[in-house]
Amino acid sequence: MRSNRATVRAGVSMAAALPMIAGALALGIPAAHAADTPARDALAGTKPAWATAKADKGATADSARVNARVYLAGRDRAGLAAYAKAVSDPSSPLYGKYLSAKKAQARFGATKAQVSAVKSWLKSAGLQITGVTSHYVAVSGDVAAVEKAFGTQMHNFAKGAKTYRAPAKTASVPAGLQGAVLTVTGLDSAPHKSTHDDQLPPPDAVFKNSGPFSSYYGSKIATTLPDAYGQKIPYAIKGYTGKQLRAAYGAGTYTGKHVRVAITDAYASPTIAFDAGKYAVKNGDAAWTTGQLHQALPKNYTKTEECGAAGWYGEETLDVEAVHAVAPSADVTYVGAASCYDDDLLDSLSKVVDQHLADIVSNSWGDVEANQTPDLAAAYDQVFQLGAVQGIGFYFSSGDNGDEVAHTKTKQVDTPANSAWVTAVGGTSLAVGKGDKYQWETGWGTEKATLSADGKSWTNFPGAYTSGAGGGTSKTVPQPYYQKNVVPKALATANNAAGNRVVPDIAAIADPNTGFLVGQTQTFPDGTEQYSEYRIGGTSLAAPVIAAVQALAQEAGGGKAIGFANPSIYAQYGKKGVFHDVTDKPTGTDLAVARIDFVNGFDAAGGLATSVRSLGKDSSLSAVKGYDDVTGVGSPADGYVQSYRRH
């Protein structure tokens, strides 16, 4: 399961808007605003790609209300990106020379004079200041005031079957502000929000897996079911637990002691402390100690019905339990956003950075790249860079829909995993054998065929594609320096001869058929709320697993923060014993598991559904020898955690 930020956000075409912001940022040098007129500076990317002349439905009424955020550029945009790059690069003399949150704000944050100038300009245009943080000034006002402030006209545009407000031309700000404004968000009214993928069942309705199960890979063979790929196949795993995952990814004796991990999602599960505590005791993990699990929550929640707030509880439960299972001594802080909208998710990330709540941040939400807008990309990257200079690394799941063609009809990657300033985590199918021995991994990609009515064959074997790890080549973000000489040229240049960012960077267990066992309080058919366990997967399992492995690595390195990890991850690529080189046919043949499911998701009263799930079939993406766009450099091997002892 993975939460998908924004099913209906503004689409972005690359050609004009992004090279200015995302392109420069990817190389560590943010671009200045282009001159719009001698008196104003344009804010690149503020006119969405879908706001075309053909889609124009006319001017928005002057009286319509707009809520926007004016993000502050800070004292030294170029310096921030350059320092973030330097402290993250093992070859730099500044590597690991992090700043405190206070020093980072003093060096790169907006000055009081800049904030005052921005506020005065907005007020003079007739806008009301509704909030001020170290990152932005929030405003509200009518369309007439917005048009005056940002030098544009607001029109209504058709986007799909709906109509939304957006600037008819790129917004701009007075040149007299001298670069104080990074960007503005909220001028378009298309929803910028997150939703959940199918992999995560809603926790307000009970979900259980039916057996038979394998307790480890291959422990129970489906002898009465038809062959697949010329052989009998094992039943799906009941759900791996911490002991098995720690063995698979080389935890050794490390537990993440004295390392702080943060998890961001929307809302907050009211039963997380009980669920996480009971799960650890039942499944052999170390018991949580007093004060080991914290929550940093907003004062109020919004859009709970629109966002399906209860659906986020399971996401939090998975993330918290997976981190603790792999790094049982790590300190965990859950940071809940007020809603599933980008503005609130950005606030949760900013809270981690501003208060330095952790060195490692796991994030299991995102959206397709075509729905990302350059204004939001710039706002996110600024937070990631501010984190990097403090030694904070962000880990984002790469998505659960492979190349996204089946989901969106367009081959694309997900965002924010596409950012050059985060570690994108792909997914695998994992085989852990008897005695917790690592056997192999494939790239996560599933094809499903059901049992025929007579029980003698699989219908239309191997069946239809269902889900798989997100990956591929960005259409908007130029290739970052750390991927050069590692990512194959054919991948890097798939959308641009000059080379673009390829996702993911690293990978871990994600396949729900070889997934992780979680425990959560759910509502049963009789209306009672009871703790129950079920198997789950998706790249939002892979992200917290990698975050936990990073906690182990940080402990191995003497507690020194790893920070933005990509430069060090790619620097270790090719070293013996550091990564599992994941391929789709690790045993030399195609692989599959048998799975039995309750039709009603709870018990056998509604019948059982029997299927075969083929492994390593990720849409058009393939896990091959070397770097690939399903698993990146691979998954952590026994030498990965130990390798940080040498840093």
Tens digits of residue pLDDT in 545-556: 999 999 999 999
| Residue 18 within any structural domain of the chain | yes
- Residue 138's SS3 state is strand
Q: Which residue has the tokens 């959560």?
A: 520
Rounded mean pLDDT, 469-476: 97
Q: Which residues, at least 6 apart from 107, have a Cβ–Cβ distance to it below 8 Å?
A: 75, 76, 79, 83, 99
Evaluate whether residue 103 is within a structural domain.
Answer: yes
**pLDDT at position 2:** 60
**Quick one: three-class SS letters along 202-265?**
CCCCCCCCCCCCECCCCCCECCCCCCECCECCEECECCECHHHHHHHCCCCCCCCCCCEEEEEE
Q: What angle do CA 71, 74, 80 make, to 5 degrees?
A: 115
- pLDDT reported for residue 307: 87
pLDDT surpasses 90 at 16? no
Is residue 68 one of the residues assigned to a domain?
Answer: yes
For the chain, the farthest-separated pair of C-alpha atoms sits apart, in whole angstroms, at 78
Q: What is the mean pLDDT of the chain?
A: 91
- pLDDT digits over 249-296, tens only? 999 999 999 999 999 999 999 999 999 999 999 999 999 999 999 999
Q: How many domains in the chain?
A: 1
- What is the predicted pLDDT for the residue at 194? 61
Domain that holds residue 165: 3-196
Q: How many CB atoms lie within 10 A of CB 361?
A: 28
pLDDT average, residue stretch 509-522? 96
In a domain, 363, yes or no: no
| Domain assignment of residue 58, yes or no | yes
Average pLDDT over every residue of 418-446: 98
Q: Is the pLDDT of residue 610 over 80?
A: yes
* Domain-located, residue 557: no
Give the Cβ contact number of residue 63 at 10 Å: 8
* Residue 424, domain member (yes or no): no
Q: What is the pTM of this model?
A: 0.92
In angstroms, the CA 489 to CA 203 distance is 43
Mean pLDDT of all residues in 384-391: 98
The percentage of the chain sitting over the pLDDT mark of 70, rounded to a whole number, equals: 92
pLDDT over 50 at 498, yes or no: yes
Residue 396: its H or E element: strand 393-397
Q: Which pLDDT tens digit goes with each residue over 561-603?
A: 999 999 999 999 999 999 999 999 999 999 999 999 999 999 9
Query: Does residue 245 lie in a domain region?
Result: no
Q: How many helices (H) and strands (E) does the chain have?
A: 17, 32
